[in-house]
Chains A and B, each alone.
Chain A
């Protein structure tokens, strides 16, 4: 069956541009997570959705980061006025319920020049 998909796979942005990263979770999965993985590091939690409700956004590094999941399926992570330190791989994961195994997408590699 289809896994978690993310688009685009690669994104190059000039400093100051806005970007939008999309995540399509596994159909029927209630929980959705976003993580940020800097080069050579482990993923770090950004935000969590249960259906359309954003229950935890404690990991978002600044108010330039915004995530939504309006219909409880597809999610978008938006970064406004990108900075060089935003360069990273952004991972999306979904699970049937919060306590179940998280399935990860391939990630979007964002490079800010």
Chain B
């Protein structure tokens, strides 16, 4: 079956540091890949996505590249801010009769200190 493995947290960084959160996946088909973010007290929000190999998703300074050869979709940001403190979830969807249900990783809690 499908699965997502992501870097365990919590991760604590200083403001303006470089961020990488690792994510690898296992899927039977050709999945789409996602990063969702959950800010304190808020619901899950889509951060970025990529739908095919070598695609790069980007949003709010975050980037992730769909690497089929390494089955990875690592999240990166060059200079983090305090406002980036949140829980980040890597996820995939593997269409089954049009059902794009998401399979999530366990989440990585990120804390940025000023």
- What is the interface of chain A, defined by CB distance below 8 A to chain B? 4, 31, 33, 35, 40-45, 48, 50, 55-56, 59, 91, 93, 95, 97-107
Contact = CB atoms under 8 A, between A and B. Distances in A.
Contacts of A33: 101-102
Interface residues of B, number: 23
B83 interface: no
A41 B99 contact: no
A95 B99 CA distance: 11
Interface string B92-114: 00011111111111110000000
Contacts of B61: none
Interface stretch (B11-19, B42-50, B72-80): B42-50
A64 B57 CA distance: 40
Contact of B102 (A4, A43, A99): A43
